[in-house]
């Protein structure tokens, strides 16, 4: 049973999907992974590099949609460590499915995202992301359509409110001065486009490589597979596309929790200056050059025991 | 199993599960549009690399070039090194590399005044770090392009017996040669298909009148008026011969041929049909020994000068005139 409940105090929607309590949990290497190819798995036995299917435990379903994007048939893979061509294919699939969902009359906006790592909330370790087709426009996206519209677009003037982390011909990888999470990154196309579908092939190829490089830079910075939320803001024709990476750790095994201020008032607190974060990310990104997709066979695993740090 | 229609966006194989949900399968190559195939040439501004790039272009082969300084090639070129370089990555992303010609450069003149440690650092950065960065670009691709590495016979050190064979143990005796040997090892381990060409002393002017990368190269010293016998005169190999060997190696690998290591110079001089044997080509007609004789043939074609016998004094004067851009005059020897 899925239902949308309106919060009369904030005019925001809350989705209620009680069937999601039944979601499976898998541990690393578990043979019963539902996303590994097999006769009883979600993806069946057909060979693939990337597979997409409706979420068995959806948050939205007519109206709206919830899809799962499995990045690879290999359980131990990771987006940041796929081959460059494979990384580009993932972006092409995001683009394809975003455009298809946006065409539906019961979908108002589309979010491509990944919860990377169990500490970020991923219930299945197999490399995958998701796509939500919201039956409404979330408040943050509605605001972005206002500030990213026309000649006053703030994302076209990204240098004014960010620090550079890496430059490329078609994209900027930047650290917002107002980081909501430590080591937050934004990947912004230099061209004013509002959707993944509007990107050229060259922009897709370069953006895919930069995002892979950002993932690997986080791993290098933390010393293990960094937990993070990645999302693609697609405001459509009224705004400027951007991808956002929000790590949940302020340092090695020091988790940043969303606590009272963030949860109750939506007021974020950060304790790492953007300049220091940009400096560290620049070094990690330079080491993880565009040319060097590290082997997934060697990508760092999850830490065993994160140190709980409630001093936020 | 069916194929998704236009309403589903790009084509993808679709399987409708028994519970009614559909799974879309995407495979590499199905969504990605075909990219133009190119031969990638690194070091396209070097003495050999530029001649190779020009020869490939003349043969109708599309080329993507990486050059440290402008190479004036009629091909997409990026200025930089084979290491981190966003523009280089963008160019690679837009093309399908059918073969990579990795042309090493000599980062400093021999006998220079830099401290030895500085020379060693430069050599290892140029040959090892850059080669590693270049190779890692494709290290996870199942269809990684083959790599033709332009190496040097310097990896043998002071070789004996003569002529040296590819089975001779390597004894690099300088930082430059050591770093080249390390680059060879990297290519051999990381590139699934590769050809390593150990080139002996390359001689002969390119279309700019250059006779080497370095102004302190023995041949350049000769051209500048230092009349002295070259230490390895009979191990010379003409520039056009080296370019031909590189192109043949590229075709050999692109055609699915196995990896190989080949001397270009002394080894060929000892066995004129060796290159043909290595690449499975028809045996060539008998040729005179390569080396200085071949280089003189090259000079004859370029400068219209045909000495009856090697005469280093006349050669030096003719070389100097060519390097200085003056028209050649027939020597009166």
Q: What pLDDT, in 10s, does the model give residues B129-159?
A: 888 878 877 776 667 889 999 998 889 886 5
- Checking ipTM against 0.90, whether it exceeds it is no
Confirm or reject contact between A291 and chain B (CB < 8 A).
yes
- Whether A92 sits inside 8 A of B10 (CB atoms) is yes
Distances (CA, A) of A227 to A26, A188, A253, A302: 17, 21, 10, 8
Confirm or reject contact between B7 and chain A (CB < 8 A).
yes
Confirm or reject contact between B6 and chain A (CB < 8 A).
no
- pLDDT band of residue B113 (cuts 50, 70, 90) is low
pLDDT beyond 70 at A299: no
Chain A contact set for B33 (CB, 8 A): 201
- Whether B9 sits inside 8 A of A96 (CB atoms) is yes
Full-model pTM: 0.62
Mean pLDDT (chain A) is 86
- Residue A184 φ/ψ, nearest 5 degrees: -65, 140
Confirm or reject contact between A154 and chain B (CB < 8 A).
no
Q: What pLDDT, in 10s, does the model give residues A177-208?
A: 999 999 999 999 999 999 999 999 889 999 99
Q: How far is CA B76 from the centre of its chain?
A: 18
Sorted by where each begins, the domain ranges of chain A are 2-298
- Whether A50 sits inside 8 A of B94 (CB atoms) is no
Long-range contacts of A176-180 (CB under 8 A, 24+ apart): A176/A274, A177/A274, A178/A274, A179/A270, A179/A272, A179/A274, A179/A277, A180/A246, A180/A268, A180/A270
Answer for the pair B77, B65: CB distance below 8 angstroms, yes or no: yes
Distances (CA, A) of B208 to B46, B117, B211, B230: 12, 33, 9, 23
Nearest to B93 among A53, A167, A206 (CB): A206
pLDDT at residue number B82: 61
- pLDDT band of residue B301 (cuts 50, 70, 90) is very low
- Whether A202 sits inside 8 A of B93 (CB atoms) is yes
Confirm or reject contact between B31 and chain A (CB < 8 A).
yes
Residue of A nearest to B10 (CA): A96
Percent of chain A having pLDDT more than 90?
52
pLDDT beyond 60 at B231: no
Report how far residue A293's alpha carbon sits from residue B139's, in angstroms, rounded to the nearest whole number: 8
Give domain B37-205+238-287's CATH number out of 3.40.50.1970, 3.40.640.10, 3.40.50.720, 3.90.1200.10: 3.40.50.720
Sorted by where each begins, the domain ranges of chain B are 37-205+238-287
Higher pLDDT, A242 or B121: A242
Nearest to B140 among A49, A206, A293 (CB): A293
Contacts of A202 by beta carbon, 8 Å cutoff, 6+ apart? A170, B90, B93, B94
- Whether B23 sits inside 8 A of A81 (CB atoms) is no
Coil, strand or helix: which one is A83?
coil
Coil, strand or helix: which one is A81?
helix
What is A2-298's CATH topology?
A: HIT family, subunit A (3.30.428)
Residue of A nearest to B26 (CA): A50
Mean pLDDT (chain B) is 68
């Amino acid at each position: 049973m899925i239902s949308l409940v309106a919060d009369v105090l904030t005019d925001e929607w809350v989705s209620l999907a009680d069937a999601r309590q039944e979601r499976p949990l898998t541990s690393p290497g578990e043979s019963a992974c539902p996303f590994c190819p097999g006769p009883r798995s979600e993806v069946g036995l057909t060979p693939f590099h990337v597979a997409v299917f409706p979420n068995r435990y959806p948050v939205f379903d007519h109206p709206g949609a919830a899809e799962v994007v499995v990045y690879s048939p290999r359980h131990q893979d990771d987006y940041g460590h796929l081959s460059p061509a494979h990384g580009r294919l993932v972006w092409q699939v995001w683009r394809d499915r975003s455009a298809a969902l946006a065409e539906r009359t019961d979908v108002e906006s589309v979010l491509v995202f990944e919860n990377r790592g169990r500490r970020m909330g991923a219930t299945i370790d197999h490399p995958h992301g998701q796509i939500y087709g919201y039956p409404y426009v979330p408040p943050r996206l509605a605001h972005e359509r206002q500030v990213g519209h026309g000649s006053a677009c703030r994302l076209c003037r990204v240098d004014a409110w960010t620090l550079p982390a890496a430059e490329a011909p078609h994209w900027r990888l930047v650290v917002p001065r107002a980081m909501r999470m430590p080591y937050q990154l934004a990947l912004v196309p230099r061209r004013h486009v509002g959707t993944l579908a509007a990107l050229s092939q060259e922009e897709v190829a370069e953006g895919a490589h930069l995002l892979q490089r950002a993932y690997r830079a986080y791993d290098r910075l933390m010393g293990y597979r960094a937990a993070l939320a990645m999302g693609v803001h697609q405001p459509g024709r009224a705004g400027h596309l951007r991808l956002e990476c929000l790590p949940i750790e302020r340092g090695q095994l020091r988790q940043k929790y969303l606590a009272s201020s963030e949860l109750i008032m939506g007021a974020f607190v950060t304790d790492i200056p953007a300049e220091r974060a940009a400096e560290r990310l620049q070094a990690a990104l330079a080491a993880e050059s565009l040319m060097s997709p590290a082997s997934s066979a060697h990508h760092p695993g999850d830490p065993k025991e994160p140190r709980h740090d409630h001093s936020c | 199993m069916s194929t998704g229609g236009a309403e589903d966006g790009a084509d993808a194989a679709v399987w409708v599960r028994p519970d009614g949900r559909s799974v879309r399968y995407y495979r590499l190559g199905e969504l990605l549009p075909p990219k133009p195939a190119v031969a990638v040439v690194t070091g396209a501004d070097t003495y050999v690399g530029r001649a190779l790039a020009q020869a490939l272009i003349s043969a109708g082969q599309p080329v993507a070039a990486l050059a440290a300084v402008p190479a004036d090639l009629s091909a997409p070129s990026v200025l930089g090194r084979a290491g981190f370089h966003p523009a280089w990555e963008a160019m690679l992303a837009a093309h399908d590399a059918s073969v990579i010609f990795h042309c090493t450069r000599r980062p400093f003149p021999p006998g220079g005044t830099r401290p030895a440690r500085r020379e060693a650092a430069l050599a290892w950065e140029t040959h090892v770090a850059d080669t590693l960065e270049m190779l890692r670009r494709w290290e996870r691709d199942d269809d990684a392009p083959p790599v033709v590495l332009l190496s040097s016979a310097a990896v043998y050190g002071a070789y004996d017996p003569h002529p040296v064979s590819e089975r001779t143990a390597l004894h690099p005796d300088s930082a430059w040669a050591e770093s080249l040997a390390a680059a060879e090892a990297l290519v051999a381990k990381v590139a699934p298909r590769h050809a390593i060409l150990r080139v002996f002393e390359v001689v002969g002017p390119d279309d700019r009148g250059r006779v080497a990368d370095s102004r302190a190269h023995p041949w350049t010293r000769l051209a500048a008026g230092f009349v002295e016998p070259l230490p390895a005169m009979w191990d010379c190999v003409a520039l056009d011969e080296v370019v031909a060997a590189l192109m043949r190696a590229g075709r050999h690998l692109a055609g699915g041929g196995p990896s190989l290591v080949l001397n270009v110079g002394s080894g060929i001089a000892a066995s004129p049909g060796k290159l043909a044997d290595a690449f499975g080509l028809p045996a060539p007609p008998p040729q005179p020994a390569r080396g200085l004789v071949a280089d003189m043939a090259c000079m004859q074609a370029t400068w219209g000068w045909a000495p009856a016998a090697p005469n280093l004094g006349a050669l030096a004067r003719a070389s100097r005139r060519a390097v200085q851009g003056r028209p050649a005059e027939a020597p009166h020897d």
